[in-house]
Structures are given as C-alpha cells and as structure tokens.
Chains A and B, each alone.
Chain A
C-alpha cells in the first residue's frame, strides 16, 4: 500500500457520512467504502469483500476501527485492511485525511 504516488481527492464533508454507517465513494472508476467511526475518524477501503464469494463491504457493522462484513460476518481491521482470525485475507486500504470538516481520499 501507499507505494505509488497518490493524489488526495476532496470527496465531501464529514457530515455526508453517518456515524458507523458506511457509504460508497466512486473515484476514478473505483468503488471505495468509506466509514466514519464514533469518534469521527474516517476509514476508506476498497468496497470488495475479501471473502471468496465477493460482494460489498459498505453495509457492515462498525465497532471501533473494526468492520463486521455484511455478508459473511468476517471481522476486518479498517486501519490495515487485515481480515481477523479465523478468516484470512486483506482489503485494499486508502489513505484518508479529514481537515476543517472536509474529507480527502488518496487514490
């Protein structure tokens, strides 16, 4: 992650994202699931379920910086994209920045 040169894109304001309820941001043809946690931190991961059957992530249940995926209940660390045991896998994580109420995503 982060090895390539990324441009930060202003995707909107913090209040466009509900607390603990994900929302999809479409950027450069990619679907990014953006989550705002209970302390207003923002996480952005690729909206692609790491489960072999795929599917979305945006509708999962957020707890702290973890996400329980909506389809298979896998637990994913939103900071690293790592799937927690007993399951394995990793989701692509995007760099994020929140400044003056604005949300920025690197892609």
Chain B
C-alpha cells in the first residue's frame, strides 16, 4: 500500500482557497495540504470588513477558520508568506524567502488587489485601498487623527468604506466618475434613491468627477479634478475597482489574460495547477463577488478529488450592499434595453423600488431597492431562467406597492387547486371550490361541516373566506347572525345574560330553557356552557365532568395513542433537586416514554397509561400544572435580581407568587404569563396573555400577547410601582377576561375585540371597578381545589374514570 499522500498546495489563504479546501475535506482526506497566505491572519470573511469598519463587528467576529481549524484538519499553514513562483520542472512552489515546497497539485487562490489609479500623488501617505484587515486598521487609525476624507469610487466597496468613515466621525465625500452610483449593479432609478438615502446618512457626493492628481507633500492634502476644481482631503480611499492578483501565475508562465485563464474545471494552462476565485478569468469573465467563488470551489473540489461533477458554466451574480439601513439588491441583467420587457414599481413614500427584466418572457434580471425580501426568490427564479406567469407576477409584484415588507398572501386566484388550505385536515383549495360550486355552499360553517376546513385550529378561516368570495363574488355574504355553535342561534352574551336573568344552573337547563335544537348540545357548546356557569356561580356550580373535553376531564393531556402526559407544577419555572429526583424515579417506575422540557419551563412526562395516572400523581406528590386546561398554565420567569447582574426585580419569586395565586380557576382559554426582572425581557413577555417586565422602580404590564396560532405582540397596559398593585391589576384583568371573554377566545383576540382602552378603563383606571373585579376573582379562587389530590380521594370516580372493567373471557 502506498502511504505517500498526494501533496496539495494552496496559494492564498482567503475565502476562495479555504472554501475549496473545506469542500475537498468533505469529500476526502487523501491530500496532505499546505496553505500559504500573505496576510498574517487565518481565513476571515472579507465581505464583513465593512461591518468591522462600521463598528458592528470585530476582527474576531469575522474569522471564518481559526488557527485550531487548520490544526484539527492537519493543514500546514504559512501566514505572512508570499509565494512567487510555481516551478513546474521540479514540481515545487517557491516563496519570496526561497522556501521550496513540493506539490502534486496546486490551487492558486490569490484573489485580487485594490486598483490604485495611476495618477500623480497616488503613492502619498494617507492613500489606501479597501481590501483587507490592514486597510481596515489604517482607516480606524486615520479617523482618530484626521477629519476630512475622500473615497474615490462610488461602487459597492467605495460606499461601504464611506459609510464606515462617516460612522467613525469623518467628513466624507464620495468622488465618482459616472453619473450613477453603483452603475454596474443598479439602474438609474435605484441609484438615485440610494444616493438620496446615503446623503441622509451623512455622506457627501461629487459625481461625474475625474480625479487627475492627488495633492499634498509627503501626506495627501487634497484631490484635483479634470475641471481643475479641488477637494480637500487628508485621507483618501481608492475604491475604483479591483484587479486580479495574477503575479504568481505570470511568473510561472501560466496563461494570463485579465485574470488567470481557466477552463470549466478551473484548470490553468499548467498541468496540475488550478485557480479559483477573483484571481481567475473564466470564459472571459473575472468575478469580483463571493457567490461565484463558492460555485467555482465546489466544481474544483470535486474535480480534484476525482468525483464526477458538472462543469462550471459561469455565475449569475447578485449584489447586496452591506450598509445598515440601506437595502439594495440586483441580479442578472438590470439595465433595460430595447430587447427587454420591463416590470417596474416605485414608491417614493416607502422609498422602495422594484424592477424585473424579461427577455422573451424569461426572467433575466432584477433590481430591488428598500425592500429586498424577495431577493432570494428572484435570484432563484432568474438562475433557473423561469418564464414569467400571471401567478408569479402576482406573487412578486403583490398589490399596490412594491411590498411593504409585510408577507404578501398569495391571492387565492393564483393558488393551485391541489394546494392545501387547511393544514390540520388536509383540505385543498380544489375541494373547497368543489363544495361551493357543486353543493351550493355559501358560508364558512357549511364548508367546515362539509369539508372539515377551519374546524381544527381555525387559522385558515381567512383563506376559506377569500375562496368563497372569489368563487361567489357578490353572492358571498359574511355569515348572518351565528350562535355559539350549530345547536343555537344565541350569542355568547345573550346566553350569559339569560343564565343570569333566569338563574339557570346546569348545562341541561340552559339548553332546555333556551331552546337548543340539539337537546344535549355538542362538543362545542357543552364545555362553553359549563365554563359560563362556573364563572357566574363560582361557589354553587357543580362542575360537569361529562361536559369537559377529555384533557380537562382526566386532568392530563391525551396523546394520539391514548396515553397521557403528566405535567406537575414548577412554580415560576423553578424546581429543586429533590423534586427532580422524584420526577425521575416516578418516570422510571411507570415507564414514561419521553421526558420533555416544555416551552413554559417545566417537564412533560409523556406516555403515562390512563390507569397509572392516579398513582403517578400520588407518588409525585406535586400539584397539577394544569398543562391541559383552559386556565393558568405557567408563569415563565427569567433569573431576575436573585442572581442576575442585570436584574432589577425578583422575577422568580414574583412569577411563583402569581402562579400560586391565580391557578386552578377556569379561564375562557389557556392563559400564559411571564415575569421579567429587567427590560431585557428574557422570559419573553411580549407573547404572553399577561407579560410583566420589571424595571428599577416598578413593573410594566403587557396584555394580549400570543406566540401561537396567530402571533400577536402584547400591548402595554400600564406601569405600576409596587408588587401589591401588580398583583391587583393582574387579578382585575384576569377577572375581566373571565367575565367578558368568549369560551376559547384567547386574550390576543379578546384585547382586539374589547379594546385595550376599555380594559384599561375598567381594570386599571376605575379604582372602584378594579377593586370589585379583584374581590370577585378572589372569591372564585377560594373555591378552587387541587384536582389531582381531589381525584385521589374520590375512590368511586377514580375507578370508574381511570380503570377498565376486565373480564376474564
């Protein structure tokens, strides 16, 4: 067996070379790899230099492969070392110091250099390019001493450099030869918008100006233009372009045009020598962007490892300007000519602009300004040479403006018939249309009864309504007065009023007296009536287990296989080693299938058999966490002032206190809370029914947040100064919600229906009303019992509800 590993030498320690090496390592470890880099750093992300300049990232942040990576992969790395020649005869690469390293294969990945204008004075101090970390450091230094800077070149790099210098406090003028900024990436319109935006951000511009000389003594002091005007500048960045770094190839006798000439497999004219990235020229094109380099690297890696690969046929290039707050994107062809069909939309109010170019109906390029949410999609479509269709047009151009950043719902017209509308029940657009056209259905409810769409989570209701509207046109009327379910035409408010007025006591009585068309109701109204009765008569209503959904009836969450999940309370998300040990022991004893951490900071014991539930509860000896209930689930907390250096309030204690206080009574729907010890909001108050954020001197209360089916950020309700007031306002809000909420209506919907101002007026500002609400919630809380221990002591129900009747057949 030949133990000699083929030697691969990579000249260039930048993104192109190292990403190729990474690709090679994914395929094989057959090579002994040596890398030469002229800079003293490991491989870093050159694209991110603009962010380093801007100050939003440090050099360390942008390192892609640290020293350890080279060591871990057995790569020999020579930094600060320049390779000057490839000696084909001896198969060795030669460094500036005369070191010779043998090779079997070589990859040249020397990238490119800043192009420095060949004008008098360009060698003065204070004139630099913008290409690497050293340049970046020079800029950071210059900004400390000098005030006035000029950037020559209004392309991508120039603008990023200018913005960086402005951030560093310099007075910056961008000098550009052309009429438009970024003329190689943007059309006239987008360029104008970009310039206006950058001027707002403090950059000055001198357009159509040709610099002919840099003035000054040893150090630069200004620029002279072709029209003889002068601009003062103590620091000049040249960003007029890049030129492929072909020195080593040229010294070695490899064919060089503008870049190192390569074929579709990145082979140069010299055997066993390849070239990748900005230093090469493929089919006459030198790329100065990052995407092509990855694509080339992938082809090269496969080829060099002997893995079959498609040829590299060039890249469709896209541009993204990396200046915070300025979003520009372009791809493919974007300057319209007579051969193009142009689709344009421009919005001066939102400062957005979108242009798509077609050639013979095929998408060939696009420009986006201000809103680049569609950039990935467009890039894909253009790369795949997609033909424009009405459907695509609607998705891409949306309605009205060029996209406000809001997600554009694809209009129902453009949905295909087999597209799933109701994800819960797998109902397609086609089957809904069928139901409407063939069965003459006209309401969402009829569609629900016939197809099942909207009946599970309800999230697709708007789309179903749109489909109805689309099929029926004017024949579609949003449903007439609807009762709480199909058994009645009465609304929630009417029912509650009748219960109070007539003193109705049981669900049966309500259904009978109020003329239900289904004498024993359905799975919708029975649980609702049971809730309303309990809310109205907290002390006298006899809870009806038979009117409860399985989870609430069994005090556990049913899973699809008929086993249950047990979730014990962990007040405020805090537990103890003893409790954890108990949970572990019980889980082992009863063969719990999965122990899962929930989103609400407690533990799910999944897969408990129905008949084991009472024993599990008994042995845990912990209260129910109500993970199954339309009730207070859990109060999520951050670490807070007990331990956190930022904590201003004791969130753990407050969370546990609130959870203990408000648990065990029925709410219209599940209810989640969070308490944070400081405005960093680590426990995410914005997606909770009540979210509480502590600050140095009190608490802020938010309500109506939801992170689930229909995400909604909570609204700020009020700020309070003391813990007592916090508890009081929470109690008042909870009771107001209990008294006015529709059964199963989350606070996110309730707040929008009732109105934040109304809730604030009644539960916060009107102190009398607030106190009454608190009294009523306190009264209800007094009646509450811990459900698990209650069931344990009710031997009759326990056996009838949890145990099978076993017949010896």
- Name A's B-contacting residues (CB within 8 A): 9, 11-12, 16-21, 23-29, 31, 34, 38, 53-56, 59-64, 68, 70-71, 73, 75, 85-87
B513 within 8 A of A: no
Closest to A59 in B: B550
11 contacts between A and B (CB under 8 A): A11-B807, A24-B804, A25-B807, A27-B809, A38-B520, A53-B560, A61-B523, A61-B527, A61-B546, A73-B456, A86-B452
Q: In the bound complex, what is the Cα–Cα distance between A16 and B801 (angstroms)?
A: 10
Q: A21-B800, A64-B518 are in contact. Are A59 and B553 (CB under 8 A)?
A: yes
Lowest 5 A-B CB distances belong to which pairs?
A: A68-B523, A20-B546, A70-B550, A28-B809, A56-B562
Q: Are A71 and B553 in contact, with the CB atoms below 8 A? A: no
What is the minimal beta-carbon distance from A82 to any residue of chain B, in angstroms? 16
Q: Are A26 and B526 in contact, with the CB atoms below 8 A? A: no
Closest to A51 in B: B560
Q: Are B804 and A73 in contact, with the CB atoms below 8 A? A: no
Q: A21-B545, A21-B546, A64-B518 are in contact. Are A59 and B806 (CB under 8 A)?
A: no
What is the minimal beta-carbon distance from A5 to any residue of chain B, in angstroms? 15
Q: Are A63 and B804 in contact, with the CB atoms below 8 A? A: no
Q: A23-B804, A53-B560 are in contact. Are A63 and B451 (CB under 8 A)?
A: no
Residues of chain B within 8 A (CB-CB) of A31 are 804
Residues of chain B within 8 A (CB-CB) of A87 are 452
Residues of chain A within 8 A (CB-CB) of B550 are 59-60, 70-71
Q: Are A59 and B558 in contact, with the CB atoms below 8 A? A: yes
Q: Are B558 and A63 in contact, with the CB atoms below 8 A? A: no
Residues of chain A within 8 A (CB-CB) of B527 are 61
What is the minimal beta-carbon distance from B424 to any residue of chain A, in angstroms? 9
Q: Are A55 and B562 in contact, with the CB atoms below 8 A? A: yes
Q: In the bound complex, what is the Cα–Cα distance between A54 and B559 (angstroms)?
A: 11
What is the minimal beta-carbon distance from A35 to any residue of chain B, in angstroms? 10
Main secondary structure of the interface of B (DSSP, over half): mixed
Residues of chain B within 8 A (CB-CB) of A25 are 804-807
B797 within 8 A of A: yes
Q: In the bound complex, what is the Cα–Cα distance between A70 and B807 (angstroms)?
A: 25
Q: A73-B455, A85-B450 are in contact. Are A61 and B526 (CB under 8 A)?
A: yes
B344 within 8 A of A: no
Specify which of B455, B508, B547, B558 is in contact with A61 (CB 8 Å cutoff). B547
B449 within 8 A of A: yes
Q: Are B523 and A73 in contact, with the CB atoms below 8 A? A: yes
Q: Are B523 and A86 in contact, with the CB atoms below 8 A? A: no
Q: In the bound complex, what is the Cα–Cα distance between A68 and B486 (angstroms)?
A: 14
Q: In the bound complex, what is the Cα–Cα distance between A60 and B796 (angstroms)?
A: 20
Q: Are A86 and B451 in contact, with the CB atoms below 8 A? A: yes
Residues of chain A within 8 A (CB-CB) of B562 are 55-56
B561 within 8 A of A: yes
B129 within 8 A of A: no
Q: In the bound complex, what is the Cα–Cα distance between A56 and B561 (angstroms)?
A: 7
Q: In the bound complex, what is the Cα–Cα distance between A71 and B558 (angstroms)?
A: 8
- Taking CB atoms and an 8 Å cut-off, the chain B residues in 534-582 that contact chain A are 545-547, 549-550, 553-554, 558, 560-562
Residues of chain A within 8 A (CB-CB) of B807 are 9, 11, 25-28
Residues of chain B within 8 A (CB-CB) of A70 are 549-550, 558
B259 within 8 A of A: no
Interface centre among A34, A62, A75 (most CB of B within 10 A): A62
Specify which of A29, A63, A86 is in contact with B450 (CB 8 Å cutoff). A86
Q: Are B800 and A86 in contact, with the CB atoms below 8 A? A: no
Residues of chain A within 8 A (CB-CB) of B560 are 53-55, 71
Q: In the bound complex, what is the Cα–Cα distance between A31 and B519 (angstroms)?
A: 30
Q: In the bound complex, what is the Cα–Cα distance between A91 and B806 (angstroms)?
A: 21
Q: How many residues of B contact A (CB 8 A)?
A: 35
What is the minimal beta-carbon distance from A57 to any residue of chain B, in angstroms? 9
B694 within 8 A of A: no
- Name B's A-contacting residues (CB within 8 A): 448-452, 455-456, 508, 518-523, 526-527, 545-547, 549-550, 553-554, 558, 560-562, 797, 800-801, 804-807, 809
Q: Are B449 and A63 in contact, with the CB atoms below 8 A? A: no
Q: In the bound complex, what is the Cα–Cα distance between A84 and B81 (angstroms)?
A: 79
Specify which of B450, B523, B553 is in contact with A21 (CB 8 Å cutoff). B553
Interface centre among A17, A34, A70 (most CB of B within 10 A): A70
Interface centre among B521, B805, B809 (most CB of A within 10 A): B805
Q: A59-B550, A86-B450 are in contact. Are A64 and B520 (CB under 8 A)?
A: yes
Residues of chain B within 8 A (CB-CB) of A12 are 805
What is the minimal beta-carbon distance from B444 to any residue of chain A, in angstroms? 13
Q: In the bound complex, what is the Cα–Cα distance between A62 and B522 (angstroms)?
A: 8
Q: In the bound complex, what is the Cα–Cα distance between A27 and B804 (angstroms)?
A: 10
Q: In the bound complex, what is the Cα–Cα distance between A55 and B558 (angstroms)?
A: 10
Residues of chain B within 8 A (CB-CB) of A9 are 807, 809
What is the minimal beta-carbon distance from B484 to any residue of chain A, in angstroms? 15
Closest to B806 in A: A26
What is the minimal beta-carbon distance from A37 to any residue of chain B, in angstroms? 8
Residues of chain B within 8 A (CB-CB) of A68 are 522-523
What is the minimal beta-carbon distance from A93 to any residue of chain B, in angstroms? 18
Residues of chain A within 8 A (CB-CB) of B521 are 63
Specify which of B452, B518, B549, B806 is in contact with A63 (CB 8 Å cutoff). B518
Residues of chain B within 8 A (CB-CB) of A85 are 449-450
Specify which of A18, A29, A71 is in contact with B801 (CB 8 Å cutoff). A18
Residues of chain A within 8 A (CB-CB) of B805 are 11-12, 16, 23-26, 34
Q: Are B449 and A86 in contact, with the CB atoms below 8 A? A: yes
Residues of chain B within 8 A (CB-CB) of A75 are 522-523
Residues of chain A within 8 A (CB-CB) of B455 are 73
Residues of chain A within 8 A (CB-CB) of B804 are 23-26, 31
Q: Are A59 and B554 in contact, with the CB atoms below 8 A? A: yes
Interface centre among A12, A31, A73 (most CB of B within 10 A): A73
What is the minimal beta-carbon distance from A78 to any residue of chain B, in angstroms? 12
Residues of chain A within 8 A (CB-CB) of B450 are 85-86
Q: A9-B807, A71-B560 are in contact. Are A64 and B519 (CB under 8 A)?
A: yes
Residues of chain A within 8 A (CB-CB) of B508 are 38
Interface centre among B451, B456, B560, B797 (most CB of A within 10 A): B560
Q: Are A63 and B800 in contact, with the CB atoms below 8 A? A: no
What is the minimal beta-carbon distance from A87 to any residue of chain B, in angstroms? 7
What is the minimal beta-carbon distance from B507 to any residue of chain A, in angstroms? 10
Q: In the bound complex, what is the Cα–Cα distance between A9 and B566 (angstroms)?
A: 35
12 A-B pairs besides A20-B546, A27-B807, A86-B449 with CB distance below 8 A are A21-B546, A26-B806, A27-B809, A28-B809, A60-B550, A61-B522, A62-B520, A63-B523, A64-B518, A75-B522, A86-B450, A87-B452
What is the minimal beta-carbon distance from A31 to any residue of chain B, in angstroms? 8
What is the minimal beta-carbon distance from A15 to any residue of chain B, in angstroms? 9
What is the minimal beta-carbon distance from A14 to any residue of chain B, in angstroms? 12
Q: Are A23 and B520 in contact, with the CB atoms below 8 A? A: no
Residues of chain B within 8 A (CB-CB) of A19 are 546
Q: In the bound complex, what is the Cα–Cα distance between A22 and B565 (angstroms)?
A: 20
Residues of chain A within 8 A (CB-CB) of B545 are 18, 21
Q: In the bound complex, what is the Cα–Cα distance between A75 and B449 (angstroms)?
A: 11
Closest to B522 in A: A63
What is the minimal beta-carbon distance from B10 to any residue of chain A, in angstroms? 55
What is the minimal beta-carbon distance from B488 to any residue of chain A, in angstroms? 13
Q: A24-B805, A26-B807, A55-B562 are in contact. Are A62 and B449 (CB under 8 A)?
A: no
Q: In the bound complex, what is the Cα–Cα distance between A60 and B558 (angstroms)?
A: 11
What is the minimal beta-carbon distance from B806 to any residue of chain A, in angstroms? 5
Q: In the bound complex, what is the Cα–Cα distance between A95 and B448 (angstroms)?
A: 33
What is the minimal beta-carbon distance from A106 to any residue of chain B, in angstroms? 13
Q: In the bound complex, what is the Cα–Cα distance between A16 and B550 (angstroms)?
A: 19
Closest to A20 in B: B546
Closest to B527 in A: A61
What is the minimal beta-carbon distance from B363 to any residue of chain A, in angstroms? 41
Q: In the bound complex, what is the Cα–Cα distance between A31 and B562 (angstroms)?
A: 12
Q: In the bound complex, what is the Cα–Cα distance between A86 and B561 (angstroms)?
A: 23
Q: Are B800 and A18 in contact, with the CB atoms below 8 A? A: yes
Residues of chain A within 8 A (CB-CB) of B801 are 18, 21, 23
